[in-house]
Structures are given as C-alpha cells and as structure tokens.
Amino acid sequence: MHENRPRRPRNLWWMGAAALIVLVATTLFAFGDRPPAGLVSSAAQVEVPDPGEVYDPARAGEPLPEGYRQRHGRDMIHPVYDPVFADAGEVDWPDNTDVIGVAGVEEAKAYPVSHLNFREMVIDDIEGIPILVSWCPLCGTAMVHRRELDGELLVLGNQGGLWGNAMTWWDHDTGSIWSQPLGEAIAGPRKGQRLEPYPVTLTKWDAWLEIHPETLALDVPARSDHVDLEQMAIVVDLGTDSAAYFVRQLRDVGAINDTVAGVDIAVVMDPANDQRWAVFSRQLDSSVAELELTDEGLVDTNSGTVFDPFLGLGLSGPLAEQNLGRLPSFTSFTSDYLILFPEGRTWPG
C-alpha cells in the first residue's frame, strides 16, 4: 500500500499522482492548521529520533512472530508526539463524535477517533502518569498503556507493521517491536516485556461529557466516524487470562459478574445507551460484591449498597464509603478477538 517480458509501466504516473493526492489530503486533515496554543501536555517535550537510525528487528532479519507483516515504514502514520488540549467548551465537536476517553481521579481527556484514524497514537500523560493512547482502525482496539517499564520512561512510535491484523509500535530507545493489543514486545531487545494497561472508554462525545463534564479535549477538528459498538466486544485481558463480552449480549443484561485470571470483575453497560459502559473489580474491603444494574444504580445484592454504574463511586447503603475500582479493558471487533487472543474465551463461555 508477471509476465516473462517486462512492459513499460504506462500508467504509473497517474497512480503515483493519485497516491500523492491521497497522502496530502490525509496529512492536511490529520494535522490541520495548528490551533492557537492551548493546554500543552508535558509529554510534548519528547525528542523524536530519526527512525532509520534506531535498530529495527524487521530490517535486521531478526525472527518475527508468524503472521507478522511489515506494511510501511516507521512513523509514516505519524503519532501525535506534541498533544495540545482545550477545555470541552472550546471545541466544536458534534455530539456523536466517536472519542477515546481516559480518566484519572481528577482529570479526564478525550481524543477523537476521526483524528486518530490518521495518527493512531498519542504520546501523553494523565495526572502525571505517562500514557500511550492508541487506536487501530482495522480491529477497533482503543487502548491506553502506561509508558513506564521498570522505572524507565518509554516513548513509542508507529512500527508500520501488522500482527494478528492489529497495529504494532516501536520504542525509541531499543527499537523493539510491540503488539498493541497485548501491550507486549514481540521482537527486539525488550521481547517478552509488557506495558501495564490503563482504563479507557470508546464512546460518543455527548456520553463522555455527561459523565466527565470537566474533560479536556485534544485540540483538533473532529467528526463522527460512525463506530458501531454493536459489532464489537469489550475485552478484559489480565495477562494470564482474557475474556470478551459481546456488546449485543451485554446490553441485554446490563451487568455481568465474572472472574478473569482469578479477579472478580463486573462488566456494566447501560441497556438504554451502549455508549455508557465500564469494567470494575468486585472486590471490596472485606467482601466480593454481586452486582446488578437497576433503576437505582449498580446494586450489590449482598449488602444492598448502591454504586454509580459508570464511575464506581459508593452512593448509598452500608458500604457506601467504599468505591469500585476501574479495571483496564478495551474494545475489539468481534471477528478479530479470537485472532488476537486465540486462547481467550467469550462470555458466557
């Protein structure tokens, strides 16, 4: 992206011209006119090396995982290395804009999918935690990972390869190749090491604003790309075990109580609005909640405690001083899940 006698490539000139037009158009949309400086992420201070000067396992002839395909050069799909943010009221995004939302304790950020379709990665931080926000348009995986490994800060770029139909990254210091869905280095000096995932939500702009009205927004133009969650699953991968919960089934039941890798979890979705969803740990201080979504909220049927169904905050009842902890999860097209996680399972099993 033959015959025995070579022929003159008569039409290559217009093919090249068409490719150039597409490249220019997508670049102009992706970068746009730089808006006035807003809230600059501290991640914007990173220095980006020349990709050709960093070790590349794919070019060095290192054995690569079966099925790995190098599609184009490193950073040809150029990550956002210098994100700039605006307050929610300062961006003119349609309500149905598809966004990747990330929230800490006090801070929340939104990244429009229409922009990430052309950039795929954002080097950023949330409440001082270095993160990588990534979006693979091919398999619908919206993910966030911490960019710290054994006390070392990592900066990652777009490798330009596919493995399991999903995007791959490269890290700037060792050149190792990473699988986005696994968050794991699959070739190079860091092979076998994994980044810690961070909770993330793929949703619509109006649904995100309703839960996080003080959110910051990546300061770029945006539009709806009509991402259809109905064709997706919510995936919980806890390293030694993974499970997928298909949105069509999840929406019918509202809350699923399950166990993944020995962790008691709940996957919650608003039956009236599948853009509102979250994954929580059911472990409380001295008990495990059994959760049911009702008109009152997310109710622990063991204690009668009511929690906010999408923030996990205790609202009322005997355990209201406790909160449910958010767990990392991500979206994937249902057809891609078992390619990405061949040993994974699907709910209800």
pLDDT at 349: 73
pLDDT at 301: 98
Q: Are 244 and 302 in contact (CB under 8 A)?
A: no
Higher pLDDT, 344 or 1: 344
User: Which amino acid, one-letter code, is at 107?
Assistant: E
What are 245-285's pLDDT values in tens digits?
Answer: 999 999 999 999 999 999 999 999 999 999 999 999 999 99
With contact defined as beta carbons under 8 Å apart, do 276 and 262 qualify? no
Span 10-23, pLDDT tens digits: 343 333 443 443 34
pLDDT at 192 over 90: yes
Query: What is residue 46's predicted lDDT score, i.e. its pLDDT?
Result: 80
* C-alpha span between 75 and 283 (Å, rounded): 41
pLDDT at 242: 96
**Four-point Cα dihedral 94, 96, 98, 103, nearest 10:** 90
Mean pLDDT for the chain?
89
pLDDT at 2: 38
Amino acid at 109: K
**Contact between 215 and 208 (Cβ < 8 Å):** yes
Contact by Cβ (8 Å): 167, 120: yes
| CA distance linking residue 315 with residue 310, whole number of Å | 12
- Asked if pLDDT for residue 5 goes beyond 60, the answer is no
Q: Quickly count: other Cβ atoms within 10 Å of residue 167's Cβ.
A: 27
Tell me 136's DSSP state. Answer: E
Q: How high is the pLDDT of residue 332?
A: 97
Number of CB atoms found within 10 A of residue 1's CB:
3
Quick one: pLDDT at residue 40?
66
- Starting at the edge strand found earlier in the chain, the sheet holding 263-270 runs 255-260, 263-270, 273-281
Instruction: Tell me: pLDDT of 338 over 50.
Output: yes
CA distance 38 to 29: 19
| Cβ atoms of residues 132 and 147 within 8 Å | yes
Q: Is 14 helix (H, G, I), strand (E, B) or coil?
A: helix
Instruction: Look up residue 37 and give its DSSP letter.
Output: P
pTM over 0.95: no
The pLDDT tens digits for 31-66 are: 443 344 456 666 656 889 999 999 999 999 999 999
Q: Does residue 4 have a pLDDT over 60?
A: no
Confidence at residue 193, expressed as pLDDT on a 0 to 100 scale: 98
The neighbouring-strand residues paired with 170 are: 157, 177
Going by DSSP bridges, is the β-strand pair 297-300/306-307 parallel, antiparallel, or unpaired? antiparallel
Which whole-number Å values give the CA distances from 334 to 163, 227, 342, in the listed order?
A: 17, 13, 13
The mean pLDDT of 176-197, rounded to a whole number, is 98
Read off the pLDDT of residues 67-117 as tens digits, 9 standing for 90 and up.
Answer: 999 999 999 999 999 999 999 999 999 999 999 999 999 999 999 999 999
| Interval 196-247: pLDDT, tens | 999 999 999 999 999 999 999 999 999 988 899 999 999 999 989 999 999 9
Element (H, E) at 137: none
CATH topology of domain 228-346: Rieske Iron-sulfur Protein (2.102.10)
Confidence (pLDDT) at 225:
86
According to DSSP, residue 160 is labeled: E
Nearest alpha-carbon partner for 214 in 336, 69, 105: 105
Give the CA count within 13 Å in the CB-facing half-sphere of 194.
10
Q: What is the pLDDT of residue 20?
A: 41
Question: In angstroms, rounded to a whole number, what is the distance separating the alpha carbons of residues 348 and 345?
Answer: 9
Give the largest CA-CA distance in the chain. 83
Residue 128 is encoded by which pair of tokens?
A: 């001082």
Spell out the domain ranges in the chain: 36-202, 228-346
pLDDT of residue 163 exceeding 70: yes
Q: What 3-state class would DSSP assign to 86?
A: strand
* Those residues with Cβ within 8 angstroms of residue 92's Cβ, 6 or more apart along the chain or in another chain: none
